[in-house]
Structure 1
Amino acid sequence: MRERPDNGGADDCRPLPRRGPARRDGSPGLSTAAGVVRVLVATDKFRGFASGPTASRAIAAGLRATGCAADVRSVGDGGEGTIDAVWRIAGGHRTRLPAVDAWGRRVEAQLLRLPTGETLIEAADVLGVANRPDPAGLPPPSTALGELIRLVAPVVRDLLVVCLGGTAVVDGGIGACEALRWQPWGPPTLVAADVDIPYASVVGRFGAQKGVPGHLVDQYESELRRASEVLRARSGRDVAQIPRAGAGGGLAGALACLGADVRGGFATFDALTGFSRSMGHADVLVTGEGRVDESTWLGKAPGELLRAAHRKGMPAGLVAGAIDDGSRTTVGAMCRHWVALNEQGSASRRTPEVALYHSGAEMGKAIRQNRDGS
């Protein structure tokens, strides 16, 4: 367990002008006796270890074992799992549509219709990096997302929300635009970008994790430059001037060139669910994810939650599978307490739920000691 003073940080989210419907995630809330520390637990996934909801529940159980009152909330940032997180809070009608993914496989894509007229889809359902048949394979084109948008467009009532995180593509969105025939597809569309990076940084920032081998980096970067020229010629827009254009391997910029509005994924989630209001009922925030690295601070839910906590003057804690060396200074500035599972010795041999439970208990002890001044 580490402790640091609570200092610094700003929130650059631009909220949408929408209210948050009532929650449905079944957590009991934070009405507690006087003197009990109220902790809001909202983690992202621990990839390959535990889903966000599973991790949050285990951490909350550990916190409760130390006498804290812990309230679990789902959270999303435009990445995989955003639809589930929105549904758990806002409700709506969830269905699955038959689709074809980027590798030619028949899959079922999620569709969530909210009572307020928004329809959500996730790009990862057809382009997901976690669903690659060959982890060593080259990145596919983004065509499958364009086909999914065309399939869904006729059933959208008011607004289509495309969640872009977790894709395996780096083609700058050209494949999707070709599938869309380089034309607007009908309903107003909002792209929920899980990271804030420029279009030109797609290959350099995320190419390796999406399958671009080192000896082909120059080739892929050259193709990305050509993609930006094609987008300018087709739409008259310069993707270099579009904020968050690099999200989804450049899909954010490409869809913006065809008329979509690009917003931060966490800001979009907050606008659809009213999540940030729940922070006002807690004394401490605890968030987390599998690996805290540079991308955490580029728009991912844990980083955005920590910024929001700083803005509110709210103490925060972090549970991570691992923390990159380059992020330790930021974590120290953002968090009062933190736990890295890979630094817990025997914890690495525990089941996911047990490891996270013990991390929550350790966090709870530190929170209570800090509150009691002992």
Structure 2
Amino acid sequence: MNIVVAPDSFKGSLTSSQASAIIKKAIQSLGFGDTVTTKPMADGGEGTVDALVTASNGKRIAVTCTGPLGEKINTYYGMIDEQTAVIEIANIAGLVQVPVADRDPDITTTYGLGEVIKDALDRNCTSFIIGLGGSATNDAGLGLLLALGMKAWDQDGNEVGIYGRDLTKVTRISLNDVDPRIYDVTVQVACDVENPLFGEKGASAVYGPQKGASQKQVIQYDTAMKHFSELVETDQLLKFSSIAGAGAAGGLGFAFLLLGAKLLSGAKLVGEASYMEETIKQADLVITGEGQSDEQTLYGKAPGYIADLANKYDVPAVLISGSLAGNIDPLLEKFSGCYSIINQPLSIETCIAQAEELLYQQTKQTIHFIHKITRS
């Protein structure tokens, strides 16, 4: 059989690239002679760079930039051809990079994202794919824009700093000195949330608390984002703050809209960049998966996207996930089979620690069964 392996990450235990390799190893260990093509998936969050670099035989570009707390960090972005850069906020200002005790939107910044974009521009990149999932920030992209050349001042005429707390001080801005190269390139942003910039469903109200914001800070930031967007939109004679996705990654969606970017489904963007549809079209079987699957898997998540492509070409799709939750009947309408890798009562900690072996064994059982019934 020609089998396409395209899982998302098993968060907390396996990256999508690691999961793909384990599934491939399990299939090949059975000796049926299957051809296995791995296409690691992501939806714009952690693992987006690695998934696209692996799927396209691209490369990593090492870079030093400003981290989420203002310190210098060594990180990387991807190059999937000589002109396309893949950058994820999780590698630059990610929540996982900030210790729980230090999580506070006042002291985090997106400045490093602008530095990495400039590095890619210096390498003559003309196309960008930006993954916004997993940010530690809530600055409406202030840091990013400052790194790219925007000027912002407080009420006393002093230039503001690069941190979230500085957003509350901005009274005047100028975009005249933004690096002009950013307007001459194509920027596609992987964004799977539909929140506007501010309001009861905005960035601060919905995602601020998980980034360490107190209720008082949520109110302060919501007000600051509204004021900041009014300054920017008045300057540009445009309106982006209410667009679905403007509130993604603490308002980075808004900043990218300002720069002319397009906000797209993360799974679809990653899939198109790795030629997923063309690959699945030639397959006999598709295997996907994630950490936990439930009905939400069908709404914008990577396995749901993979299932839709497989169904389009009448290719059976199998879901192998860390766990299955709730009513799986909706999943069975799109997947030929849904399996959990948990084979006995185990604690969450044990499941995470043994994820590699559990995924390996469940894959072997599934593929062995498929071969036996197709040959009978």
TM-aligned CA deviation for residue 56 of structure 1: 1.9
Task: Identify which range, 202-211 or 313-322, moves more after superposition.
Answer: 202-211
Specify the alignment match of 2:361 in structure 1: 358
TM-aligned CA deviation for residue 194 of structure 1: 3.9
- Which secondary structure does the structure 2 equivalent of 1:45 belong to? coil
Task: Identify which range, 217-226 or 52-61, moves more after superposition.
Answer: 217-226
Contact 1:45 1:55 in 2 (8 A): yes
Q: What RMSD over aligned residues (CA atoms) do the two structures have, in Å?
A: 3.2
Q: What amino acid is aligned across from residue 245 of structure 1 in structure 2? A: A
Cα distance change of structure 1 residues 222 and 324 upon mapping to structure 2, 3 Å threshold: farther
Aligned positions, number: 336
Q: Deviations over 1:140-177 (max 9, x none)?
A: 23233233333443323422333322222233323322
- The aligned runs of 1:25-174 (5 Å cut-off) are 37-64=1-28, 67=32, 69=34, 70-134=36-100, 137-139=103-105, 140-174=108-142
Contact 2:53 2:79 in 1 (8 A): no
Instruction: Confirm or deny that 1:331 pairs with 2:331.
Output: yes
Which TM-score applies when normalising by structure 1?
Answer: 0.76
Q: Deviations over 1:252-273 (max 9, x none)?
A: 2221112223333333333433
TM-aligned CA deviation for residue 213 of structure 1: 5.0
Instruction: Confirm or deny that 1:191 pairs with 2:212.
Output: no
Contact 1:199 1:244 in 2 (8 A): yes
Instruction: Confirm or deny that 1:277 pairs with 2:275.
Output: no
Contact 1:146 1:175 in 2 (8 A): yes
Contact 2:127 2:187 in 1 (8 A): yes
The 1-side partners of 2:341 and 2:224 are apart by 39
TM-aligned CA deviation for residue 103 of structure 1: 0.8
Which TM-score applies when normalising by structure 2?
Answer: 0.75
Q: What amino acid is aligned across from residue 120 of structure 1 in structure 2? A: V
Larger CA Rg, structure 1 vs 2: 2
The 1-side partners of 2:98 and 2:296 are apart by 21
Contact 1:235 1:258 in 2 (8 A): no
Specify the alignment match of 1:9 in structure 2: none
- The aligned runs of 1:238-317 (5 Å cut-off) are 238-240=239-241, 242-292=243-293, 296-297=297-298, 299-317=300-318
Task: Identify which range, 152-161 or 102-111, moves more after superposition.
Answer: 152-161
TM-aligned CA deviation for residue 220 of structure 1: 4.4
Specify the alignment match of 1:177 in structure 2: 145
Q: What amino acid is aligned across from residue 359 of structure 2 in structure 1? A: L
The 1-side partners of 2:114 and 2:125 are apart by 19
Cα distance change of structure 1 residues 330 and 238 upon mapping to structure 2, 3 Å threshold: farther
Specify the alignment match of 1:340 in structure 2: 340
Q: What amino acid is aligned across from residue 52 of structure 1 in structure 2? A: S
The 1-side partners of 2:224 and 2:70 are apart by 23
Q: What amino acid is aligned across from residue 21 of structure 2 in structure 1? A: R
Contact 1:196 1:299 in 2 (8 A): no
Gaps of 5+ in 1: 1-36
TM-aligned CA deviation for residue 208 of structure 1: 4.5
Cα distance change of structure 1 residues 232 and 353 upon mapping to structure 2, 3 Å threshold: same
Q: What amino acid is aligned across from residue 178 of structure 1 in structure 2? A: L
Contact 1:317 1:336 in 2 (8 A): yes
Cα distance change of structure 1 residues 58 and 215 upon mapping to structure 2, 3 Å threshold: farther
The 1-side partners of 2:50 and 2:290 are apart by 17
Q: What amino acid is aligned across from residue 359 of structure 1 in structure 2? A: Q
The 1-side partners of 2:304 and 2:265 are apart by 12
Specify the alignment match of 2:167 in structure 1: none
Q: Deviations over 1:338-367 (max 9, x none)?
A: 223457425945622211112212332554
Specify the alignment match of 1:27 in structure 2: none
Contact 1:287 1:319 in 2 (8 A): yes
Cα distance change of structure 1 residues 132 and 286 upon mapping to structure 2, 3 Å threshold: same
